[in-house]
Amino acid sequence: MAQHVTNVSQPEEVSSTRRVIAASSVGTLIEWYDFYIFGTLAKIISEQFFPKDNPTAALLATLATFAAGFVIRPFGALFFGRLGDLIGRKYTFLVTLVIMGGSTFAIGLVPGYKTIGFFAPAIVFILRLLQGLALGGEYGGAATYVAEHSPAGKRGFWTSFIQTTATLGLFLALGVILVVRQSLGVETFTDWGWRIPFILSALLVAVSVFIRMKMSESPLFVKMKKEGKTSANPLAESFKEKDNLKMVLIALLGATAGQGVVWYTGQFYALSFLQNACNIEFVQSNMIISVALLIGTPFFILFGALSDKIGRKYIMMAGMLIAVIAYRPIYTVMYNEADLKLKTEIVEQKKVEVKSAVKGADSLITTITTKAFTDGTSFKETVKKKFPADPALKAALPKDKMKPETKKEVTLSKDLSIKMIGLVLIQVIFVTMVYGPIAAFLVEIFPTRIRYTSMSLPYHIGNGVFGGLVPLISTRLVEATRPGPGLPPADPLAGLWYPILIASVSFVIGSLYISNKTNNLDVE
């Protein structure tokens, strides 16, 4: 295996290294925050910019969701990776930060579809692509920059701080959204309050840019440049030379693909499962995930540090294997804990409230049913029926147009909520095992002259494509088990087969072909 990275180990440089880590991590965290607020607010953004009755806008919505994650991120990895290997790490990931922050801030200012028509989805689509491009360039730069400053034998530990940023970015996004939503109320938040998390990004990015401007270039890159050893064509060198292509493939198939699906399952799929399969109420489901993320975050550093002692491979492979074995049992417990069919209802506490209102030419009948259960769980079902107030028009309306809109919300007791946090936390720990050491692993298998380019691509394909497709493919697998429209799926856990399959293949390839001797290598 290629073995490269020289160390900066003098004690007087340790405080400088800490500054490097702090500055790099804060910027990367903000980039993840920017990327996730779009995803977390996808439903509201869709209503504001991508109306369903306009097919082109709806198509753009789909592309904005998927293209930024799949196509643009790896492209950003190639574009900025090449730039980082040619002109340096510092300026490249400063540029990605500015592009990401600028795009996010701009999304918060774009007038809605009702105001500027088709320009609204078109502008948001372009800004979202810029976000994907910037994210593709950011991570490899930050990981490379920190690793090239790290003291000997501590590369796993130091780069693990960069590894915390994706999870903390998601936590920050969920936290800011929850606080703004709770402060303004749901209606105001849906109307204009959703813009605040986007606009807030400008402030965060400005602080981060100020800090990054004061940083110096990676010492290894400076040395290499002085010696005239930089690559003339990092792309060709990374992917056309057999020795490097071999490493790119092993990094993708044996590490980042498995890491990507474990990462997305433990965080995004868990949230989606709580909200859609278990019908857990919005605030409670977000709180469960947020608390689990916060408690789990120090484990990134623990496993990063441990990888310096026992090697990157063992920890990453153990994380994948345990995840593969444990996913179905964990999700079975999660599903059962929220399953109302397994609970005893306190019948005398059942309430049904019916409200009717006329809005313009439409009548709206809202039926709210609330139930309480002996274990402290409560359930609220809101059924909204909308139809023309004019009886003649109502009679002429096809039945499928009068389909009621139903919203189910389960609120768990405090004890069950804590149990759910524990179940999600176990998954977050799998994430920290596969993700904590991976930056150091990727840095160590590629030489300095093409490191930024070579490590960015497998990372973003593994994380963006294999991981990013978890929600889409898993939802599809669950839908395939649904016996008919409106009926519950026969196997609500079928969605787990995709991450289980990918992580299994990655585990076998990683176990067979990856060396565990990468820790403490000289990186040069």
Partner 1 sequence: MSAIKKIFGLLWAAMGVGIIPLVIMQAMKEIAAKPSEENYIFWSIVIVVLMPIIAFSLITFGVFALKGEYDVIA
Residues that bind partner 1 in the complex, under the rule CB under 8 A: 1, 62, 66, 70-71, 242, 245-246, 249-250, 252-253, 461, 465, 469, 472-473, 476, 508-509, 512-515
- The CA distance from 39 to 41, in Å, is 5
Give the CA distances from residue 478 to residues 154, 342, 354, 493, 496, in Å, rounded to whole numbers and listed in that order. 43, 21, 33, 7, 9
- The CA distance from 245 to 446, in Å, is 10
Q: Look at the block and give the residue holding tokens 């990655």.
A: 506
- The CA distance from 369 to 362, in Å, is 23
> 522: helix, coil or strand?
coil
Closest CB to partner 1 among residues 242, 399: 242
Angle, CA of 477, 480 and 485, to the nearest 5°: 130
- The CA distance from 43 to 110, in Å, is 16
Instruction: Give me the least distance between CB of 515 and partner 1, in Å please.
Output: 5
Closest CB to partner 1 among residues 66, 335: 66
- Structure tokens belonging to residue 215: 């940083």
Instruction: List residues bridging with 378 in a β-sheet.
Output: 372, 411
Instruction: Give me the least distance between CB of 475 and partner 1, in Å please.
Output: 9
Instruction: Give me the least distance between CB of 36 and partner 1, in Å please.
Output: 21
Closest CB to partner 1 among residues 257, 421: 257
Instruction: Give me the least distance between CB of 241 and partner 1, in Å please.
Output: 12
Closest CB to partner 1 among residues 180, 473: 473
> 477: helix, coil or strand?
helix
Closest CB to partner 1 among residues 134, 457: 457
- The CA distance from 84 to 86, in Å, is 5
- Which residue type occupies 475? T
Instruction: Give me the least distance between CB of 242 and partner 1, in Å please.
Output: 7
- Structure tokens belonging to residue 490: 């026969």
Q: What is the largest CA-CA distance in the chain?
A: 85
Closest CB to partner 1 among residues 253, 425: 253
Instruction: Give me the least distance between CB of 507 and partner 1, in Å please.
Output: 13
Closest CB to partner 1 among residues 515, 520: 515
Closest CB to partner 1 among residues 2, 44: 2
Closest CB to partner 1 among residues 129, 416: 129
Instruction: Give me the least distance between CB of 272 and partner 1, in Å please.
Output: 16
Closest CB to partner 1 among residues 58, 180: 58
Phi, psi of 110 (to 5 degrees): -65, 125
- The CA distance from 170 to 183, in Å, is 20
Instruction: Give me the least distance between CB of 169 and partner 1, in Å please.
Output: 24
Q: Are 112 and 74 in contact (CB under 8 A)?
A: no
> 244: helix, coil or strand?
helix
H/E run at residue 24: helix 14-40
Instruction: Give me the least distance between CB of 87 and partner 1, in Å please.
Output: 29
> 118: helix, coil or strand?
coil
Instruction: Give me the least distance between CB of 254 and partner 1, in Å please.
Output: 9
Helices of type H across 110-118: 113-116
- The CA distance from 370 to 381, in Å, is 6
